[in-house]
């Protein structure tokens, strides 16, 4: 079977080695005579899967012992509400930095819970940049500062984080977690939907500093409390067992590749192939993100006209490229180069871009 050049923004490419292992184990996991999807989540066989995923995450991201690693459901969208529910007190304000559509959705949910503020925003520039850390405003009554580390729609990414303040830093890292080393100890909470760099959709990873559990109000329903999942080791209710199994296999694959440092170097090389095609095109390809804010995960660009955008996308599809359409809210083109996208796919895209420009410029 010939594999597609998969540049989907999410659900996205998974490592072929992981898919082949899952295929091999699908109907008989570890000689149990059952699929991992059929195992009891209370069984010792599944317990090993669960623990492996937690320990591999701790190892790869160097997560300190005073942090919980939780496996939850509902995607990042549920976290948008759970965070203020657990941490936004009556006399406090939730501080959000707006860098794209997902940060807008996060603050929208927080407004249902309590007071919010915008510490910084690049909306006026069309979300083409990440704000300067020096431009973020803080207050003594801020409950936390929330950022979105990478913006899939606009193709921007935080190069350095706004750390060093006494208020907890919370980050939605759904689209760039595991793509580079992260200073976890500088954050109060990190959350990420799995369907971009961690595995298939269905599980959300939450990394939370344990002392923050003390801030959860007593009246909050059981399933909306982080301490519920902490006390039960993410087994209070039936977890998405197959998604966690796949997460564990993807983490093992990253470890085999040399960990986040090695993965980061490869991601830089992959993104450079495509950004160079943009920068060397004499304006034929126009990147959306400004250079200092460019994402290594989502490369967004336009051609000189909508007609050429459509022609580019149609011809790319015919040549086996998948997922290059920009988000429906802004159009254009987008190449998502997550960890599992091979270098060969990025080389092929670069070659196609150079040839398309030669013919149509």
Q: For residue range 270-308, what is the model confidence (pLDDT) as tens digits?
A: 999 999 999 999 999 999 999 999 999 999 999 999 999
Residues 42, 142 within the same domain: yes
Residues 248, 268 within the same domain: no
Q: What is the CATH number of the domain that holds 318?
A: 3.90.1150.10
Mean pLDDT score of the chain: 97
Residues 228, 124 within the same domain: yes
Which tens digit of pLDDT belongs to each residue from 75-118? 999 999 999 999 999 999 999 999 999 999 999 999 999 999 99
Q: At what angle do helices 75-87 and 101-113 cross, to 10 degrees?
A: 40
Residue 162 counted as domain residue: yes
Burial class of residue 139, CB neighbours in 10 A (0-12, 13-18, 19+): exposed
Residue 10 counted as domain residue: no
Q: In the prediction, which pLDDT does 1 show?
A: 66
Residues 234, 276 within the same domain: no
Which tens digit of pLDDT belongs to each residue from 108-163? 999 999 999 999 999 999 999 999 999 999 999 999 999 999 999 999 999 999 99
Residue 189 counted as domain residue: yes
Residues 336, 284 within the same domain: yes
- Tell which of 256, 275, 297 closes a domain: 256
Residues 223, 355 within the same domain: no
What is the span of the domain harbouring residue 142? 17-256
Query: For residue 103, what is the enclosing H or E element?
Result: helix 101-113
Residues 195, 129 within the same domain: yes
Burial class of residue 132, CB neighbours in 10 A (0-12, 13-18, 19+): exposed
Question: Are the C-beta atoms of 356 and 28 separated by less than 8 Å?
Answer: no
For 209, the token pair is 């500093």
Residues annotated as part of the active site = 102, 172, 196
Question: Are the C-beta atoms of 165 and 155 separated by less than 8 Å?
Answer: no
Residues 224, 306 within the same domain: no
Which tens digit of pLDDT belongs to each residue from 160-204? 999 999 999 999 999 999 999 999 999 999 999 999 999 999 999
Residues 222, 273 within the same domain: no
3-state SS assignment for residue 338: coil
Residues 263, 146 within the same domain: no
């Amino acid at each position: 079977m010939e594999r597609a050049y998969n540049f989907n923004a999410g659900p996205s490419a998974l490592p072929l080695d992981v898919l082949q292992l899952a295929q091999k184990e699908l109907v008989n996991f570890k000689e149990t005579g059952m699929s991992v999807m059929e195992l009891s989540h209370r069984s010792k066989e599944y317990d090993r899967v669960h623990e492996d995923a937690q320990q591999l995450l701790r190892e790869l991201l160097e997560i300190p012992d005073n942090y919980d690693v939780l496996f939850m459901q509902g995607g990042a969208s549920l976290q948008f509400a759970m965070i203020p529910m657990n941490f936004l007190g009556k006399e406090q304000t939730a501080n959000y930095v707006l860098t794209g559509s997902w940060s807008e959705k996060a603050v929208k949910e927080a407004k249902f819970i309590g007071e919010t503020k915008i510490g910084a925003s690049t909306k006026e520039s069309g979300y083409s940049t990440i704000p300067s850390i020096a431009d973020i405003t803080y207050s003594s009554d801020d409950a936390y500062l929330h950022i979105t580390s990478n913006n899939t729609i606009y193709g921007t990414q935080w190069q350095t984080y706004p750390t060093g303040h006494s208020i907890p830093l919370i980050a939605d890292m759904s689209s760039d977690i595991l793509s580079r080393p992260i200073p976890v100890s500088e954050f109060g909470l990190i959350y990420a939907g799995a369907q971009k760099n961690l595995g298939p959709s269905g599980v959300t990873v939450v990394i939370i500093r344990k002392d923050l559990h003390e801030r959860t109000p007593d009246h909050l329903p059981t399933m909306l409390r982080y301490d519920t999942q902490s006390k039960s080791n993410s087994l209070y209710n039936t977890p998405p067992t197959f998604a966690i199994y796949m997460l564990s296999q993807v983490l093992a694959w990253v470890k085999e590749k040399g960990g986040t440092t090695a993965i980061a170097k490869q991601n830089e090389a992959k993104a450079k192939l495509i950004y160079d095609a943009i920068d060397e095109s004499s304006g034929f390809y126009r990147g959306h993100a400004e250079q200092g804010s460019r994402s290594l995960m989502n490369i967004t660009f336009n051609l000189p006209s909508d007609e050429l955008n459509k022609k580019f996308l149609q011809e790319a599809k015919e040549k086996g490229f998948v997922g290059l359409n920009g988000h429906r809210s802004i159009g254009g083109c987008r190449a998502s180069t997550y960890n599992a996208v091979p270098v060969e796919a990025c080389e092929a895209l670069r070659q196609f871009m150079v040839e398309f420009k030669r013919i149509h410029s």
